[in-house]
Every structure is written in structure tokens, then in C-alpha cells.
Amino acid sequence: MEALTRRALIAGAGTGAALALPLAAQRMVDLHLPGGPSARPMAPRFPQKGEMIVQRIRPPLFETPFEVFDQGVFTPNDRFFVRWHWADIPASIDAAAYRIAVRGAVRTPLSLSLSELLRAGEHVEVAAVNQCAGNSRGLFEPRVAVAEWANGAMGNALWKGVRLRDVLDKAGIGANAKFVRFGGLDKALVEGAPRFLKSLPIDIARRDDVIVAFAMNGAAMPLLNGYPVRLAVPGWFSTYWVKMLADIEVLTGEDDNFWMAKAYRMPTVPVKLGDKGFPTAPISTMPPRSWITGQTNGATIALRGIAMGGDTGVAKVELLTGGATVAAALGPDQGKYGFRRWSAALPSHTGEVVVRCTNANGVTQPDAQAWNPGGYARNAVERIRLGRA
């Protein structure tokens, strides 16, 4: 396994694909976003990526075309969405020279090579959905005018890595440790812009399933998804899943950097467009969601789709149609943080249908979406009119 890992890391380095981003748009796709421009170009030419929806080129925001979610429970690496905040991203990585600093409130500050990192602890695997806090932002009304994703700023992968806890324990953390802050190799092109840094509370950082991942679906991760190593925080929005992880800093207090104190915060009270001065908290765990991904019409309408429980497993998926509730059959359980496939058969005359997931904590998707100024954490039920396919 160790040998395989090494090989994957080296192979990943070899691709070193220059991040030149000339747009070779092949065709346009309509994302059906309400209240504004909705068409986006598709582009097949980004390094290690297949056909993706281009939301923006610099910094890259590439969305997974929705039909990919109908093809399997795991999202292939070459179709996995891409999101960076700053445009200065290394175009290649020298795996042999790569170092990860572990510093701050630690007994022994470390500068780990990738092979030292791989030896820091047991290799563990976890299936987990990596979902941008802004996934589906384009569906908010009123509109929130940044990164207007449809539903493709998410993906499910089998992540493999070493526990963050083992890496922290190698350096030895003090009893006064409160947060752990993470930074990658990306930088802003603009002078003085705040480096992308995110922090986890120490108890989350020490969780059994929070890993420094070096593989994704059995291969090294694409450069754009954080090669050679990224954080995986199952159940939490992917803003914490820091890519090209190079800096781990143990803090003795709350992190007041821009990305924790100003960005990625959710109102803790109901708000509407124009409200100011309301209390907020850093976004953290994901709520349940579900989608219809495909339909086959016959004597009945066979529906299929995916669901996620968020920070726990899927308990049930229901189809609501004309006063009736039909329980979907759930596919194999890959672990509570991954996608779960589902299927159901509905009468052939069914018109509108709502798909709704309830997670193992008893949290159910709401009928209507509460608005927030960041356009974060959308999870209202999806409503679909079944056409004759």
C-alpha cells in the first residue's frame, strides 16, 4: 500500500500540467438559474479535467455537470468540481521537495516531507461529500452575485490519508491549544489580499476521521483539487478542506483572520436582503440534501437519485407527490458522510414531485429556503415536474 501511495504521488507530480487556462469553450449549457443570466460555457481542456462547466477561469471555478451524479455514487476525479479563491496557484509540484510545516503552540515545530507525512500514522479511508458552502448559490432569490453555482459545486470521493491528529501528536500540542489553522500554497495576485487560511476547533481537528488526504478515489488528486495533500473534514463544508496543504499552525485562541472572522459566516438569526449588523457564526457542518438524477418512463416512472445526510448518515429519502409520500429504496451505504443512491417508482401520471431527505439526527430538508447574504448552505427540497422522457 505504501509503495502504491508513493507511486501515485510521483505520477501526480509528473503531470505537472501547466495551469495555462485558455478557454476553449465547446458549447454552452443552461443551468436554469432564476432571475438572471443562466448560460455557461463548457470546457474540456483544463489539466487533469474532463468536460466541466466554467463559472470563472481565474481563479478557477469549474462546476461538475449534473449528469455526472447519475453515473455513480463516487464523482470521478476528472469531473470533480474546482474552486480556488486566489489565482496564484502553483502549476506543478515537486513532490520530493514538498514540505508541510507544523508549528505554533507545539512542543516541536516540524517541517515534514511527503514520505514523513505518510509515515506519521495509519492510513485511513473515508467516503465523504466535499461540498462548497456556496453550492447551489445561483438558485437563491434574491440572487447573490458571486460564484453562481447550480448544484455541481459538490462531489463524493473516497479520501485516503493520515489522521490530522497523528500529525499534530508528532509535533506535540500544548494543553492550551484551541484552534488549528491551515494554509495552502496558493497566493493572491493582488498586494495585501488576505491569504486563504481556515481554522478548525481543536476537538474537530482531533477527530478520528479528519485526515490529511493524499489520495482521492484510489489515485493522487488532480493538481486543481489540491495535489499533493489536502485536508478532508467529513460532514463539514469544503471551505475547511484546505488544498495543497503546506502550513498547520496550532493556535491558543480564536482565529481572527479574514476567512474566519469576515467570510464564510452564517447569520444566526433570520435575515433578508439589506439587513445589516446581525450576529453571525462561522459556517461549519452540512445539512441533508437530495436530488433526482434520472428517470425512466414505463408502466410506472422509475426515479433515481442521490442523497446526503450532511454531518451524519441518510435515514430516509421520500418522494412527495399530490398528497402521497413514497419512501425511496436506499442503495449501498458507503459510510455516513458519502452520497447514498436511492430509487423509487411513481405512478405514470405523476406531475410535480418533491424529493426530501431526513438524516440520522432527524433533520429534514425544509420546504422553503431561508435566504442569507453569502448564499450559503442551500438545502431546501428540490421540486421537479416529471416530463415524458
Ligand X SMILES: Nc1nc2c(c(=O)[nH]1)N[C@H]1C(S)=C(S)[C@@H](COP(=O)(O)O)O[C@H]1N2
Q: Least distance from C-beta 282 to ligand X, angstroms?
A: 13
Binding mask 221-250 for Mo ion (x = CB under 5 A): ------------------x-----------
* 3-state secondary structure at position 272: coil
**Strand bridging mode 211-216 / 197-201:** unpaired
Choices 39-47, 65-73, 78-86, 277-285 (CB under 6 A): range interacting with ligand X: 78-86
- Max distance between CA atoms of the chain, in angstroms, equals 68
Of 334, 347, 336, residue with least CA distance to 309: 336
- Indicate the residue among 60 and 288 with the shorter CB distance to ligand X: 60
184 binds, among Mo ion, ligand X, none (CB under 5 to 8 A by kind): ligand X
> 263 burial class (0-12, 13-18, 19+ CB within 10 angstroms)?
middle
33 binds, among Mo ion, ligand X, none (CB under 5 to 8 A by kind): none
Distances (CA, A) of 233 to 65, 205, 206, 217, 373: 24, 8, 11, 16, 24
Residue 241, interface with ligand X (CB under 6 A)? yes
Q: Least distance from C-beta 167 to ligand X, angstroms?
A: 17
Q: Least distance from C-beta 12 to ligand X, angstroms?
A: 14
Of 384, 292, 334, 238, residue with least CA distance to 67: 292
Choices 23-31, 170-178, 241-249, 303-311 (CB under 6 A): range interacting with ligand X: 241-249
Selected from 180, 244, 314, 377, the binder of ligand X by CB under 6 A is 244
Binding mask 126-145 for ligand X (x = CB under 6 A): ----x-x-------------
Residue 77, interface with ligand X (CB under 6 A)? no
Q: Least distance from C-beta 241 to Mo ion, angstroms?
A: 9
291 binds, among ligand X, Mo ion, none (CB under 5 to 8 A by kind): none
Residue 55 to residue 45: CA distance in whole angstroms: 14
Q: Least distance from C-beta 369 to Mo ion, angstroms?
A: 18
Of 188, 170, 173, 183, residue with least CA distance to 246: 183
- Residues with Cβ within 8 Å of 382's Cβ and at least 6 positions away in sequence, in order, are 290, 291, 292, 354, 355
Let me know: does 319 contact 346? Beta carbons within 8 Å. Answer: yes
- Residues with Cβ within 8 Å of 139's Cβ and at least 6 positions away in sequence, in order, are 33, 34, 150, 151, 369, 378
Let me know: does 182 contact 247? Beta carbons within 8 Å. Answer: yes
Hey, which residues between 79 and 118 contact Mo ion (CB under 5 A)? 83
> Cell digits for 116?
514523513
Selected from 161, 184, 235, 338, the binder of ligand X by CB under 6 A is 184
Site residues for ligand X per CB under 6 A? 80-85, 130, 132, 184, 186, 196, 225-226, 238-239, 241-244
Query: What residues make contact with Mo ion under the rule CB under 5 A?
Result: 83, 132, 239
